[in-house]
Amino acid sequence: MNNKVAVFRREHFNAAHRLTNPKWDEAKNNAVFGKCNNPHYHGHNYELVVKVSGIPDPQTGYVMDMKVLSELVHDHIIERFDHRNLNEDCPEFKSLNPTAENIAVVIYNILRPLINEQLDMQVRLYETERNFVEYPAS
């Protein structure tokens, strides 16, 4: 058994997106992505949970100050994606389909270098209450 503690911080953002593969024609995109391929976009209230694990600092009792974690997520994720169109406004998705899977990987890759490398990290992203993803998979 390890003696690490995980801390989780939940944040949210609202965004529009469209699922499409530009290499495919419209018929194939519709067959694969259905209503999610609407060229005028649809949208979601995304709920993001960031998990950071490590040994609590004996001075503070914190693995990582959740206010600091919350501010990092606000400055680097919420500012970037909230009230945006992921396909149109966000260079990260110019050539990457904004599925929940890909959004989670992008968020992980943005946050990972900003968190102390001694700490483990994972993200969970809820696209709806019934559809959600986790990266890296535990």
Can you give the binding site for its own copies, defined by CB under 8 A?
Answer: 1-12, 14-17, 19, 21, 32-36, 38, 40-45, 53-54, 56, 59-63, 65-67, 70, 82-85, 88-89, 96-102, 104-105, 120, 128-138
Task: Please state, as a whole number, how many other Cβ atoms lie within 10 Å of the Cβ of residue 14.
Answer: 12
Active-site residue, selected from the candidate residues 11, 36, 47, 74: 36
Q: Is 123 within 8 Å of 135 (Cβ atoms)?
A: yes
Active-site residue, selected from the candidate residues 26, 71, 83, 88: 83
What are 69's two structure tokens? Answer: 């974690």
Give min distance, CB of 108 to its own copies, in A: 10
| H/E element, 96 | none
Give min distance, CB of 133 to its own copies, in A: 5
**136 prior amide bond cis, ω within 30:** yes
Phi, psi of 96 (to 5 degrees): -135, 125
Give min distance, CB of 19 to its own copies, in A: 7
Active site residue 83: yes
d(CA 103, CA 126): 11
Give min distance, CB of 82 to its own copies, in A: 7
d(CA 42, CA 99): 13
Give catalytic residues, as residue numbers: 36, 83, 127
